[in-house]
């Protein structure tokens, strides 16, 4: 049996679908009961749980063999580093002593130790904490999610694009569907398939301006498996 954290998000929901379609029994962990109603799939059981509740999470892990671990983003209104470190440590403690055979950790390009680098240091600590439990750990470091730009599409249609990136920057990007496919493969593979893998789409993405200053466009990847 598999456990999937973040089951209502872009990546987690795709992992649930990928595992469910392969015939595996999936326990989908969701925090919001309303959002949990959107979870569908064969062989899928929904469990409402807060990842900050390590005892509850530990009990769910004890019933499973393998788990997909995604540390949820904190509210932007909070001290995000502090809050995300709390949930990362809670998840890792829940993994410890759970008898899980293997876990797959969702991480990011650039994850590293350091100060003032946002979630890159949080994700690095998350990786280290989970590996420290002794459970065989596969780590998928993802390129920039193209879905992070979803909230820019409406203004882009109007000819305006507010972005932290320079217009000529070429980004390695990835689809949640592709991330889910890789996660499902590694969740199903042997315990020798551990350590860090980097996951990105088949082509980089260019975010650029047209010659007319009032016009902008997004050029997305031309192909995704999902």
**Mean of pLDDT values over 53-66:** 96
Q: Is 190 left (phi over 0), alpha (psi -120 to 50) or beta?
A: beta
Average pLDDT, the chain: 84
Pairwise CA distance, residues 35 & 33, whole Å: 6
pLDDT tens per residue across span 85-132? 999 999 999 999 999 999 999 999 999 999 888 889 999 999 999 999
Question: Is residue 89 helix, strand or coil?
Answer: helix
Nearest to 179 by CA among 37, 22, 52, 10: 10
- Residue 108: CB atoms within 10 A of its CB come to 21
Nearest to 119 by CA among 130, 128, 110, 131: 110
Question: Cα–chain-centroid distance for residue 71?
Answer: 7
Pairwise CA distance, residues 222 & 204, whole Å: 9
Q: What is the pLDDT of residue 29?
A: 96
Give the whole-number percent of the chain exceeding pLDDT 70: 84
**Higher local confidence (pLDDT), 32 or 212:** 32
50: pLDDT strictly greater than 90: yes
Q: Which residues contact 221 (CB under 8 A, 6 or more apart)?
A: 146, 173, 175, 201, 202, 203, 205
Q: What is the pLDDT of residue 174?
A: 86
Query: For tokens 């100060």, what's the residue?
Result: 115
Tell me the pLDDT band of 193, cut-offs 50, 70 and 90. Answer: very high
């Amino acid at each position: 049996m598999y456990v999937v954290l973040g089951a209502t998000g872009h990546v987690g929901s795709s992992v649930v679908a990928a595992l469910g379609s392969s015939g595996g029994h999936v326990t989908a962990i969701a925090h919001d009961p309303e959002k949990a109603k959107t979870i569908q799939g064969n062989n899928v059981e929904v469990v409402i749980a807060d990842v900050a509740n390590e005892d509850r999470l530990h009990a769910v892990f004890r019933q499973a063999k393998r788990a997909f671990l995604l540390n949820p983003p904190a509210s932007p209104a909070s001290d995000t580093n502090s809050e995300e470190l709390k949930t990362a440590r809670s998840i890792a403690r829940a993994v410890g002593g759970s008898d899980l055979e293997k876990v797959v950790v969702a991480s990011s390009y650039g994850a590293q130790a350091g100060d003032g680098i946002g979630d890159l240091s949080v994700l690095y600590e998350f990786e280290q904490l989970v590996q420290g439990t002794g459970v065989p750990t596969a780590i998928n470091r993802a390129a920039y999610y193209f879905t992070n730009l979803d909230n820019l599409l409406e203004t882009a249609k109007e000819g305006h694009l507010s972005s932290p990136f320079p217009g000529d920057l070429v980004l390695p990007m990835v689809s949640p569907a592709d991330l889910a496919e890789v996660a499902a493969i590694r969740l199903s593979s042997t315990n020798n398939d551990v350590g860090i893998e980097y996951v990105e789409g088949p082509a980089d993405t260019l975010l650029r301006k047209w010659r007319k200053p009032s016009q902008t466009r997004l050029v997305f990847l031309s192909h995704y498996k999902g």
